[in-house]
Amino acid sequence: MSRGLTAADRIATFVLGLLLLASGSAIVAWQLGYLDRFVTSGLDTTWVQQTVASEWYPWVSAALGLVVALTALWWLSAHLRTHRMGEHTLDGSDMSGRFTVEPDSVAAAAAASLTDSPGIVSAKGKAIIERGAPVMAISTVVAPSFTVADALPAAAELRDHIRSAMDAPDLPVRVELNRVAAEGDRVRVQ
C-alpha cells in the first residue's frame, strides 16, 4: 500500500472514530438526562423543513451523494490494486521472440533452494511492488542457533541467483530471518 493511501486510511479512521465517539457520548448523555438543561423546550425543526423544501436542496444533495460515491469507488479500487510484480521481459527479446519470466516463480524457486542450506527450516518467496519499486521478498524460518552471520553467505548467493534469473543486476532482494522457537522457549501469542 502506498504512503498516501495509508495516510488517507489513518485519517479517515481517526475522523470516523471521533464522530462515532462523539455521537455515542451524546446519545448516552441524552438518555441519562444531561442534555435536558440545554434543550428546555421541544426542538424547532422548521429550518430543516424549509431547507429540504428549497429549490437547490435536491441538486446539492445529489452532487454530494455523487462525490461520496466516487470517493468510495476510488478508495475501493486503491485497495484492490495488486502489489505483485507482473511478467518480466528479459534482455535478448526482439522481433523474433520474447523471453519472459514470472517473478513469483523465481522467488518460489529461490526460496526452495534456500531450504537446502543448513539451519534454514523453511522459506517462502514472493515478488512484490513495495512503494513503487519491485522487490523479491524471501521469508525464512531458521533454527534457534542460526545467526545472521550464518545467513550472509547463503543470502548473498541467493541474491545473485535471483538477479541473474531476472536479468536485473540492481533488483532489491530482501531475506527475512524468523527464528523458530527452541523447545524451552516460551512462545508469546499476540
Q: What is the 3-state secondary structure (H, E, C) of the chain?
A: CCHHHHHHHHHHHHHHHHHHHHHHHHHHHHHCCCCCCCCCCCCCCHHHHHHHHCCCHHHHHHHHHHHHHHHHHHHHHHHHCCCECCCEECCCCECCECCEECHHHHHHHHHHHHCCCCCEEEEEEEEEEECCEEEEEEEEEECCCCCHHHHHHHHHHHHHHHHHHHCCCCCCEEEEEEECCCCCCCCCCC
Q: Does one domain contain both 110 and 159?
A: yes
Q: Does one domain contain both 59 and 20?
A: yes
In a domain, 152, yes or no: yes
- Cβ neighbors of 140 (< 8 A, separation 6 or more) are 111, 114, 120, 121, 122, 123, 151, 175, 176, 177, 178
Q: Does one domain contain both 68 and 126?
A: no
Least confident of 11-20, 48-57, 72-81, 97-106: 97-106
In a domain, 92, yes or no: no
The pLDDT score that the predictor gives to residue 179 is 74
The pLDDT score that the predictor gives to residue 81 is 67
Mean pLDDT of 89-97: 67
The number of CA neighbours under 13 Å toward the Cβ of 65 is: 6
Answer with the one of 26, 49, 81 that is the final residue of a domain: 81
Mean pLDDT of 142-159: 82
Domain count, the chain: 2
Q: Does one domain contain both 68 and 21?
A: yes
In a domain, 97, yes or no: no
Would you say residue 181 has pLDDT above 70? no
**Structural domain range at position 125:** 103-179
Q: Does one domain contain both 8 and 68?
A: yes
In a domain, 189, yes or no: no
Answer with the one of 26, 48, 81 that is the final residue of a domain: 81
Q: Does one domain contain both 122 and 162?
A: yes
Q: Does one domain contain both 72 and 117?
A: no
Q: Does one domain contain both 37 and 7?
A: yes
Would you say residue 174 has pLDDT above 70? yes
Mean pLDDT of 156-169: 84
The pLDDT score that the predictor gives to residue 93 is 62
Q: Does one domain contain both 8 and 75?
A: yes
The pLDDT score that the predictor gives to residue 56 is 93
Instruction: Please tell me the pTM assigned to this model.
Output: 0.52
The pLDDT score that the predictor gives to residue 186 is 46
In a domain, 28, yes or no: yes
Q: Does one domain contain both 54 and 112?
A: no
Mean pLDDT of 5-9: 81
In a domain, 7, yes or no: yes
Mean pLDDT of 134-155: 82
Interatomic CA distance for residues 117 and 45, integer angstroms = 75
In a domain, 37, yes or no: yes
The CATH number linked to 128 is: 3.30.300.30
